[in-house]
């Protein structure tokens, strides 16, 4: 009942008219559900029915429902299709850094003299520096944040809020578990590995958060295939001209917006932009391209553009350049200041939406630090596994306290969460029960490392 009332309230708040065509599982869009499909009422008025993210009815809440409700109230418009279907599904589990505390494994040691276990990213620098002098500064840019490219992947932004979602692949009406196993190739290597079933979707919903309301500006997705992860990014304005069109349609005629529209439609050469690794030698070779900086907007101009972020249907930016000019390509907008459609410092201009581009960072989830720093041989591994960073199956209270400090440093504190196991979302890997048609390892040259 509460869910139904909440939905009604949302529809009323929207004030939009029109029927509420249901996408239904599988959606009703084009091939990927995101391309316009003539005759689909959602396409002619895709925002008529606001996205309804359920806040109840899950097998397990990773994130408190009240916090999810705040996210849901600021969700963007997503047309019918697979992405909308899973955002509206109670099978989809949402989490943020407060609810699934990020961490990484230290698998080097014997658990007697040399401690092993799960460490929060917010580990006290002293605990690393005691083992590896200066080690913390090599791998972390600040407490809790890895150096680029494994922390701040969106660039040096300070006004972004991220919420993640996880849709466990389903078979016969039930979630397929993430499977895990422990690898002990020698006396000094003890690591938990896991693998997501084919079809699993991870996503992040990105909001500009300048200390007031949240404004959605992007959804990124990774979908597990047998050989990797298929990627997509949904944005309200994949091209510069899409934003120009939307401002004109909304009647934006102030001097600042008129100048912005002229800039967006213009073909002046793009400024040079490059993005490269600062630490982790050999990771993330420098990418060069162009960028278009959008001017800061204030007052009614900002309000108009920010309103468009919530009322314009998000669509795939895969293979679409924001702008090409002067022999350079910008894959996304940049921002010279606040109040516009992307956060300041946003560096996606150099990040094409394609598997090779996105894999440039994701392929290294779970990789041992020794591959980048030979002085950090005796330590641990980058966060994540199976090419996903933010997810892990470990019981939070066994390795981290409410202040982000390490719990149980001196003995192996890795416990697979009983609630995930009870909900059937995680299970020990048994190759006969978890066939290769559903579970296929991604093997890189370092994957089965030993210390």
Q: Where on the chain is the footprint of ligand HEC (CB under 6 A)? A: 149-151, 153, 162, 164, 202-204, 220-222, 231, 233, 284, 351, 353, 357-358, 360-362, 388-390
User: What's the CA gap between 120 and 297, in Å, rounded?
Assistant: 38
**Between 151 and 393, CB nearer to ligand HEC:** 151
CA distance 76 to 64: 21
CA 250 to chain centre: 30
Q: Which is nearer to ligand HEC, 233 or 264 (CB)?
A: 233
Question: Least Å distance between CB 178 and ligand HEC?
Answer: 13
Given a contact cutoff of 8 angstroms between Cβ atoms, the answer to whether 274 and 289 are in contact is: yes
| Least distance CB 309 / ligand HEC (angstroms) | 19
CB of 247 or CB of 335, closer to ligand HEC: 335
Minimal distance, residue 150 CB to ligand HEC, in Å: 5
Rounded CA-CA distance 93/397 in Å is: 20
Query: What single-letter DSSP state applies at residue 269?
Result: P
Rounded CA-CA distance 192/284 in Å is: 26
Smallest gap from Cβ 135 to ligand HEC, in A, equals 19
The smaller minimum CB distance to ligand HEC, of residues 187 and 278, is found at: 278
DSSP for 166-197? EE--EETTEEPPEEEEEEEEETTEEEEEEEPP
d(CA 64, CA 55): 9
Q: Which is nearer to ligand HEC, 189 or 221 (CB)?
A: 221
Residue 327's Cβ-count burial label (10 Å; 0-12, 13-18, 19+) is: exposed
Q: How near is the Cβ of 324 to ligand HEC at its closest, in Å?
A: 18
What minimum distance in Å lies between the beta carbon of 384 and ligand HEC? 6
SS3 state at 45: coil
Query: CA 95 to CA 166: how far, in whole Å?
Result: 8
Give the tokens for residue 403.
């202040």
Angle at 209 between CA 150 and CA 217, to 5 degrees: 75
Residue 313 or 384 having the CB closest to ligand HEC? 384
Count of C-beta atoms within a 10 Å radius of residue 13: 10
Shortest distance in whole angstroms from residue 77 CB to ligand HEC:
20
Q: Residue 149 or 177: which CB sits closer to ligand HEC? A: 149
Of residues 346 and 451, the one with the C-beta less far from ligand HEC: 346
CB of 177 to ligand HEC, least distance (A): 18
Q: At which residue do the structure tokens 């396409």 appear? A: 43
| Alpha-carbon gap, residue 123 to 135, rounded angstroms | 12
> DSSP 3-state assignment of 27?
coil
When the beta carbons of 162 and 271 are compared against ligand HEC, the nearer one is 162
> What's the min distance (Å) between Cβ of 221 and ligand HEC?
6
| C-beta closer to ligand HEC: residue 202 or 451 | 202
The C-alpha atoms of residue 34 and residue 187 are separated, in whole angstroms, by: 50
Please enumerate in sequence order all residues whose Cβ is within 8 A of that of 406, keeping only pairs 6 or more positions apart, or say none: 119, 120, 123, 124, 127, 399, 400
Terminal CA-CA length for the chain? 55
């Amino acid at each position: 009942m509460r869910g139904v009332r909440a939905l009604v309230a949302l529809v009323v708040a929207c004030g939009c008219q029109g029927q509420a065509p249901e996408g239904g599982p599988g959606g009703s869009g084009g091939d990927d559900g995101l391309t316009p499909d003539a005759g689909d009422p959602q396409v002619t008025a895709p925002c008529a029915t606001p996205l309804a993210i359920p806040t109840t009815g899950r097998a397990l809440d990773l994130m408190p429902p009240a916090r999810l409700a705040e996210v849901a109230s600021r969700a963007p418009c997503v047309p019918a299709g697979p992405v909308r279907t899973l955002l509206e599904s109670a099978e989809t589990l949402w989490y943020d850094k407060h609810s699934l505390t990020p961490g990484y494994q230290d698998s080097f040691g014997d658990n007697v003299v040399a401690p092993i276990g799960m460490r929060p990213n917010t580990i006290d620098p002293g605990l690393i520096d005691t083992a590896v002098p200066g080690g913390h500064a090599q791998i972390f840019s600040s407490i809790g944040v890895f150096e680029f490219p494994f922390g701040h992947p969106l660039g040096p932004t300070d006004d972004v809020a991220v919420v993640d979602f996880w849709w466990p692949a389903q078979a016969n009406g039930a979630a397929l578990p993430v499977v895990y196993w422990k690898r002990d190739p020698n006396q000094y290597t003890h690591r938990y590995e896991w693998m997501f079933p084919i079809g699993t979707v991870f996503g992040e919903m990105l909001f500009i958060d300048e200390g007031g309301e949240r404004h959605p500006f992007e959804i990124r997705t990774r979908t597990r295939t047998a050989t990797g992860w298929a990627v997509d990014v949904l944005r309200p304005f994949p091209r510069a001209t899409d934003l120009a069109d939307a401002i004109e349609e909304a009647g934006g005629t102030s001097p600042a917006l008129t100048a912005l529209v002229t800039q967006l439609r213009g073909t002046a050469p793009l400024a040079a932009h490059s993005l490269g690794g600062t630490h982790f030698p050999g990771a993330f070779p420098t990418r060069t391209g162009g960028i278009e900086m959008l001017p800061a907007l204030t007052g009614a101009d900002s309000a108009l553009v920010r309103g468009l972020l919530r009322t314009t249907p998000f669509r795939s930016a895969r293979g679409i350049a924001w702008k090409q000019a002067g022999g350079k390509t910008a894959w996304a907008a940049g921002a010279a200041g606040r109040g516009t459609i992307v956060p300041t410092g946003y560096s996606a201009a150099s990040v094409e939406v394609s598997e090779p581009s996105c894999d440039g960072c994701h392929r290294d989830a779970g990789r041992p630090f020794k591959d980048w720093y030979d002085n950090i041989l005796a330590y641990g591994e980058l966060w994540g596994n199976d090419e996903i960073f933010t997810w892990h199956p470990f019981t939070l209270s066994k390795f981290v306290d409410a202040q982000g400090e390490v719990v149980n440093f001196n003995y192996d504190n890795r416990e697979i969460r009983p609630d995930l196991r009870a909900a059937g979302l995680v299970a020990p890997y048994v190759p006969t029960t978890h066939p290769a048609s559903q579970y296929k390892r991604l093997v890189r040259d370092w994957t089965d490392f030993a210390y």
